[in-house]
């Protein structure tokens, strides 16, 4: 039975995974639009730091819970964004069973909530549903090339099953469901230690370590700045009628990993050499979204150029409070204790940890947590940013060496001014 809400109430949006990288930017954008925002997060990879501007605000509520557990909010919601799921390969491979549970059981729980509340639902799916694609660029009608038994399968197949559930609920007319296939997105609040390419290269450059390149660096990626992506998600949630098909959201600009590394070196003014390591299993060779559908249906396309987005990301990372960070996955062993850390005297440039993550992702586990829905010791350690040996400590670039970044960021930039977009969306509550 649908729970009733009075017509004058401020519309309420639930963001699952709202304390993560994308989720926290989305919560802020929704809050600025006048919504009441409920964030539900188990803090597996999310951080309080990300939502500190919202915590304590009257229109913001935080629920610390795993979405795999039954959800009872005690109040109806109008819209649900499901972003809950670790997105970085070392993080989601750390406990692959929990990753699949999150994608399948967690999504199911949220869909049921959408049914009982009559809420509109948006699923954050991923370009990983295309696997290692044989079609380039990837269009939404490409069915994918996915390995269902590999180490990435918990995420790729989990997300594919989540999409299946979404379209079954939609076809059965049980809920108004939308699906965004998100391509590589970067920006401030990415976890600098989560093993994703932009954060890896920026952190290595800032710390003047060798830049790690997997394979020969000629594999390509596309990079979407976070504010652009959030605009796409908001538009997809707003649009009427329901597109009833998945939409790619990402930046179609395609760069080789070597090109990205060169740009990072230029912007950070570092001369760090490149260090080549073997390509991880199932690593896609080419990634670029075809966004024709999103352009046509949402009138959306990304605005922030890579150079500008990287500058903002570099500035953010250089200014980060390392004590609030999630430790490297390589630093957490099966029992949930924290082991070696990049910065280890035996691993001065951190590459041993990276190789370990790439070659043996399932061996550096946050142990399978039989108490899904509660917080494992490892999750606790992650959440608390626990660093028994102090890790690398607060290694930052000397302040003077980043003056050029702030100077470049102050220069007028046409694209930058349009990142908060002109969504045709009535301000909620007004
Ligand atoms: N960032 C990208 O480039 C990218 C690309 C494709 C898809 N996505 C999708 O977007 C979403 C957000 O990605 P992100 O980059 O912000 O990742 P993230 O790891 O920073 O955020 C995920 C959030 O979900 C929370 N979470 C994980 N499992 C949970 C569970 N079982 N219950 C409750 N909370 C849980 C985490 O604590 C974290 O706050 C993910 O679903 C991801 O698959 C992201």
* Among the listed residues 16, 15, 17, the one whose alpha carbon sits nearest the alpha carbon of residue 31: 15
Q: Which residues lie across from 79 on neighbouring strands?
A: 13, 120
83 Cα to the center of ligand 1, angstroms: 5
Omega of the bond leading into 77 within 30 degrees of 0 (cis): no
Residue in the block written with tokens 């915590």 = 55
Q: Is the CB of 66 under 6 A from ligand 1?
A: yes
Catalytic one of 155, 169, 186, 225:
155
Tens-binned pLDDT, residue by residue, of the chain (430 aa): 455 565 558 999 999 999 999 999 999 999 999 999 999 999 999 999 999 999 999 999 999 999 999 999 999 999 999 999 999 988 999 999 999 999 999 999 999 999 999 999 999 999 999 998 888 899 999 999 999 999 999 999 999 999 999 999 999 999 999 999 999 999 999 998 878 899 999 999 999 999 999 999 999 999 999 999 999 999 999 999 999 999 999 999 999 999 999 999 999 999 889 999 998 776 778 889 999 999 999 999 999 999 999 999 999 998 875 555 554 443 332 323 222 222 333 333 343 333 333 333 222 222 223 333 333 333 333 333 322 222 333 344 444 456 676 666 655 443 333 333 334 333 333 2
- For residue 211, the model assigns a pLDDT of 96
- For residue 54, the model assigns a pLDDT of 98
Continuous H helices in 172-276? 197-206, 226-238, 257-268
155 catalytically annotated: yes
28 Cα to the center of ligand 1, angstroms: 16
Continuous H helices in 172-291? 197-206, 226-238, 257-268
- For residue 409, the model assigns a pLDDT of 63
- For residue 369, the model assigns a pLDDT of 31
Q: Is the CB of 44 under 6 A from ligand 1?
A: yes
| CA–CA dist 290, 273 (Å, integer) | 33
82 Cα to the center of ligand 1, angstroms: 9
Q: Is the CB of 20 under 6 A from ligand 1?
A: yes
Query: Which residue's CA is the nearest one to ligand 1's atom 30?
Result: 66
Q: Is the CB of 325 under 6 A from ligand 1?
A: no
- For residue 402, the model assigns a pLDDT of 66
| CA–CA dist 74, 38 (Å, integer) | 12
Residues 98, 99, 103, 106, CA torsion sign: positive
- SS3 label, residue 396: coil
- Residue 332's H or E segment, with its range, is none
Could you tell me the domains of the chain?
12-408 (3.40.50.720)
The pTM for the full model equals: 0.81
* Among the listed residues 339, 332, 213, the one whose alpha carbon sits nearest the alpha carbon of residue 276: 213
Alpha carbon 206 to its chain centroid, in Å, reads: 22
Query: Which residue's CA is the nearest one to ligand 1's atom 1?
Result: 185
Question: Assign residue 278 a region: left if phi > 0, alpha if psi is -120 to 50, beta otherwise?
Answer: beta
Continuous H helices in 74-192? 89-94, 96-101, 107-117, 153-171
Q: Is the CB of 126 under 6 A from ligand 1?
A: yes
- For residue 282, the model assigns a pLDDT of 65
248 Cα to the center of ligand 1, angstroms: 17
Q: Is the CB of 201 under 6 A from ligand 1?
A: no
């Amino acid at each position: 039975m649908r729970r009733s809400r009075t017509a004058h109430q401020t519309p309420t949006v639930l963001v699952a995974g709202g304390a993560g990288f994308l989720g926290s930017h989305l919560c802020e954008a929704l809050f600025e639009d006048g919504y009441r925002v409920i964030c539900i997060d188990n803090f597996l990879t999310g951080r309080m730091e990300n939502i500190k501007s919202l915590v304590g605000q009257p229109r913001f509520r935080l629920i610390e819970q795993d979405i795999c557990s039954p959800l009872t909010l005690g109040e109806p919601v109008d819209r649900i964004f499901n972003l809950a799921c670790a997105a970085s390969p070392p993080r989601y491979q750390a406990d692959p069973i929990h990753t699949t549970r999150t994608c399948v059981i967690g999504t199911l729980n949220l869909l049921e909530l959408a049914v009982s509340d009559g809420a509109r639902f948006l699923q954050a799916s991923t370009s990983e549903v295309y696997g290692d694609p044989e079609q380039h660029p990837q269009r939404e009608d490409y069915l994918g090339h996915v390995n269902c038994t590999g180490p990435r399968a918990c995420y790729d197949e989990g997300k594919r099953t989540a999409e299946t559930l979404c379209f079954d609920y939609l076809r059965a007319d049980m809920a108004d469901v939308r699906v965004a296939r998100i391509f590589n997105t970067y920006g401030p609040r990415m976890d600098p230690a989560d093993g994703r390419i932009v954060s890896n290269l920026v952190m290595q450059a800032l710390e003047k370590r060798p830049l790690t390149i997997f394979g020969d660096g000629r594999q390509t990626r596309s990079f979407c700045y976070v504010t652009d992506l959030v605009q796409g998600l908001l538009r997809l949630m707003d649009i009427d009628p329901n597109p009833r098909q998945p939409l790619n959201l990402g930046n179609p600009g395609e760069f080789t990993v070597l090109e990205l590394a060169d740009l990072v070196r230029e912007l950070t003014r570092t001369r760090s050499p490149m260090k080549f390591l073997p390509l991880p299993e199932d690593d896609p060779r080419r990634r670029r979204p075809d966004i024709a559908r999103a352009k046509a249906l949402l009138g959306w396309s990304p605005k922030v150029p890579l150079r500008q987005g990287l500058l903002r990301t570099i500035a953010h990372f250089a200014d980060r409070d390392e004590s609030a960070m999630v430790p490297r996955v390589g630093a957490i062993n099966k029992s949930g204790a924290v082991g070696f850390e990049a910065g280890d005297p035996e691993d001065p440039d951190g590459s041993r940890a990276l190789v370990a993550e790439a070659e043996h992702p399932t061996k550096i586990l946050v142990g399978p947590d039989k108490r899904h829905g509660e917080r494992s010791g490892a999750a606790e350690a992650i959440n608390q940013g626990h660093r028994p040996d102090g890790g690398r400590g607060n290694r930052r670039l000397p302040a003077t060496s980043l003056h050029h970044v702030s100077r470049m960021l102050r220069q007028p930039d046409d694209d930058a001014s349009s990142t908060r977009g002109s969504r045709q969306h009535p301000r909620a509550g007004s």
